[in-house]
């Protein structure tokens, strides 16, 4: 509590302070789990089992203190990494949401894995007789999903931030009559990411079946959902701005026309700039739907945000978005009220 108040005073009511508070709360939960684990010392074998082979028997052992320290250390490192990501590149609320959700999931995963793997060793004389870890692993993966999503949703959306200046003069424009309405529709789909995803789904399914740890089928099941959500996106530029929506309906995002500073066709390198495929956070805090390398629509927004989506025909989309953004400046509240010129 006190920490929260102090942090708020230090950072003001801004997003960096909130990320730090969330990270500290999540990491404290892992520290608590570590404390509980140490309090079980007398009931646990020494050393404890800390690694399990594919067949479900333990094959790695460690002193309890080392195990707890290792798990807490991993948690601290990853929490710090995501917190830095959110603080340094978190101009867009989607980035902060992802970072906070990941922090909560990671710490809960490590805490459950730690306590769960020790729980099944309580009252054993020799850790070698410990049973399989399948249920614990599945629980550790699935149980933190709900609090992680809840924490992510607690991060407020970006407040409306209409641009105060005009759209960049050197940005491309589309020829559009005064009364004319226009929409650009495109599709981003497939790409190398889907091959990687299908491969991972196949491998994890085969592993779960081969080792007969059926609960581990939750991993490919979650990957199928992820693949379905990231496989195809529709991209739409209209009077309201840019809308990018997964074929499943989620995830989706909307960039209001009056927050667009400029739109361009850009060249994107998926792996070098975004570290992979899907809904990404890239260098400099750019967010984007990156399904392949190459042509992309890049939109610079107010508050230093930038969004990228890899589509064909991005030059046309950029030109139309700039033109419609122009219009949002001259006609606040929409484009109604235009009179057709009958000259």
Q: Which residues bind other proteins (CB under 8 A)?
A: 174, 176-186, 234, 236, 238-239, 313, 316, 320, 338, 340-342
Tokens 């990228």 found at:
308
Radius of gyration over every alpha carbon of the chain, rounded to an integer in angstroms: 25
Nearer to other proteins, 183 or 225 (CB): 183
Give SS3 for 122. coil
Nearer to other proteins, 105 or 184 (CB): 184
Nearer to other proteins, 211 or 232 (CB): 232
DSSP 226-294: HHHHHHEEEEEEETTEEEEEETTS-SEEEEEGGGEEEEEEEEE-HHHHHSSSEEEE-GGG-EEEESSSE
Instruction: Pull the structure tokens for residue 45.
Output: 């074998």
Name the DSSP class of 178: T
Secondary element (H or E) of residue 104:
helix 93-119
- Write down the least CB distance from residue 305 to other proteins, Å: 23
Give SS3 for 161. coil
What region does 212 belong to: left with phi over 0, alpha with psi -120 to 50, or beta? left
Taking alpha carbons only, the member of 148, 101, 97 closest to residue 253 is 97
- Write down the least CB distance from residue 243 to other proteins, Å: 9
- Write down the least CB distance from residue 224 to other proteins, Å: 22
Nearer to other proteins, 238 or 273 (CB): 238
What is the b/e burial string over 143-153, where b = at least 16 CB atoms within 10 angstroms of the residue's CB? Answer: bbeebbeebbe
Q: How many Cβ atoms are within 10 Å of 109's Cβ, its own excluded?
A: 22
Cβ pair 7, 33 in contact under 8 A: no
Nearer to other proteins, 130 or 323 (CB): 323
Nearer to other proteins, 93 or 253 (CB): 253
- Write down the least CB distance from residue 92 to other proteins, Å: 24
Instruction: Pull the structure tokens for residue 326.
Output: 């122009």
Nearer to other proteins, 61 or 184 (CB): 184
Q: What is the dihedral of CA 205, 208, 209, 212, to 10 degrees?
A: -170
Nearer to other proteins, 1 or 175 (CB): 175
What region does 85 belong to: left with phi over 0, alpha with psi -120 to 50, or beta? alpha
- Write down the least CB distance from residue 242 to other proteins, Å: 11
Nearer to other proteins, 59 or 180 (CB): 180
List C-alpha distances in Å: 15 to 88, 168, 289.
Answer: 11, 28, 23
- Write down the least CB distance from residue 269 to other proteins, Å: 26
- Write down the least CB distance from residue 223 to other proteins, Å: 27
- Write down the least CB distance from residue 187 to other proteins, Å: 9
- Write down the least CB distance from residue 332 to other proteins, Å: 17
Give SS3 for 45. coil
């Amino acid at each position: 509590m006190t920490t929260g108040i102090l942090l708020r005073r230090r950072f003001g009511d801004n997003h960096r302070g909130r990320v730090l508070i969330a990270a500290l709360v999540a990491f404290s939960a892992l520290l608590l789990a570590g404390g509980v684990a140490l309090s079980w010392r007398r009931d646990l074998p020494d050393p404890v089992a800390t690694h399990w082979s594919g067949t479900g028997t333990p094959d790695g052992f460690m002193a309890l203190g080392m195990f707890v320290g290792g798990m807490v250390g991993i948690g601290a490192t990853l929490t710090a990494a995501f917190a830095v990501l959110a603080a340094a590149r978190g101009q867009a609320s989607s980035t902060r949401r992802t970072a906070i959700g990941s922090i909560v999931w990671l710490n809960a995963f490590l805490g459950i894995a730690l306590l769960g793997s020790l729980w099944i060793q309580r009252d054993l004389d020799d850790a070698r007789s410990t049973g399989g870890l399948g249920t614990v692993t599945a629980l550790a993966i699935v149980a933190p999903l709900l609090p992680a999503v809840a924490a992510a949703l607690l991060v407020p959306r970006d407040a409306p931030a209409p641009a105060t200046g005009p759209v960049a003069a050197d940005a491309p424009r589309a020829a559009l009559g005064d009364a004319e309405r226009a929409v650009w529709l495109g599709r981003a789909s497939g790409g190398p990411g889907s091959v990687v995803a299908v491969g991972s789904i196949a491998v994890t399914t085969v592993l779960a079946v081969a080792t007969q740890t059926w609960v581990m089928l939750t991993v490919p099941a979650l990957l199928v959902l992820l693949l379905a959500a990231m496989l195809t996106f529709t991209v739409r530029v209209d009077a309201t701005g840019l809308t990018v929506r997964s074929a499943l309906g989620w995830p989706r995002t909307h960039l209001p026309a009056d927050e667009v500073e400029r739109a361009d066709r850009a060249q994107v390198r998926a792996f070098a700039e975004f570290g992979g495929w899907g809904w990404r956070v890239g260098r400099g805090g750019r967010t984007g739907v990156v399904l392949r390398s190459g042509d992309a629509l890049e939109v610079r927004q107010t508050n230093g945000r930038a969004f990228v989506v890899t589509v064909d025909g991005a030059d046309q989309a950029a030109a139309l978005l700039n033109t419609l953004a122009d219009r949002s400046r001259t006609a606040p509240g929409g484009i109604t009220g235009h009179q057709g010129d009958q000259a």
